[in-house]
Amino acid sequence: MESTRQKKISRMLQKELGSIFQKKTAEFGGKIITVTTVRISPDLSIAKVYLSIYPRKKEGDETLNNIRYQTSRIRNELGKIVRRQLRIIPELNFFEDDSLDYINNIDNLLNT
């Protein structure tokens, strides 16, 4: 069960990470990267960030690997933005959100 503080910080991180990815679209090959969900640990030290990457093909994995490679730079930028609200900037772990693929698969199965 998430506490109110965890929910507030998750929403704040989602908003700020979304703006960071929006500004850095060119660095990631012009892909549209959306932060779909952020889940934060109870001690607020680890954040699991779920990303939706469009268009997604083989390059989606490459883009996610590029994001993971630049995690320290992204965390540094995030720290500059939220340093007044958070004492400790959480460690960021990026994962691909495959819920759209799952929805499309179910839709295809229902239509056949």
The CATH number assigned to the domain holding 24 equals 3.30.300.20
* Number of domains, the chain: 1
Across 63-99, b (16+ Cβ under 10 Å) vs e yields bbeebeebeeebbebbeebbeeeeeebbebebebbee
Asked if the model's pLDDT at residue 107 lies above 90, the reply is no
The alpha helices in 1-112, defined as continuous H runs, are 4-23, 59-69, 71-82, 99-111
Asked if the model's pLDDT at residue 83 lies above 60, the reply is yes
The predicted pLDDT at position 60 comes to 55
44-82 pLDDT, tens digit each: 999 999 998 887 766 557 888 999 999 999 999 999 999
Mean pLDDT of all residues in 26-48: 91
Per-residue pLDDT band for 41 (boundaries 50, 70, 90) equals very high
Angstrom distances, CA of residue 102 to CA of 9, 50, 99, 106, 107: 28, 15, 5, 6, 9
Q: What is the span of the domain harbouring residue 11?
A: 4-111
Per-residue pLDDT band for 15 (boundaries 50, 70, 90) equals very high
Asked if the model's pLDDT at residue 1 lies above 70, the reply is yes
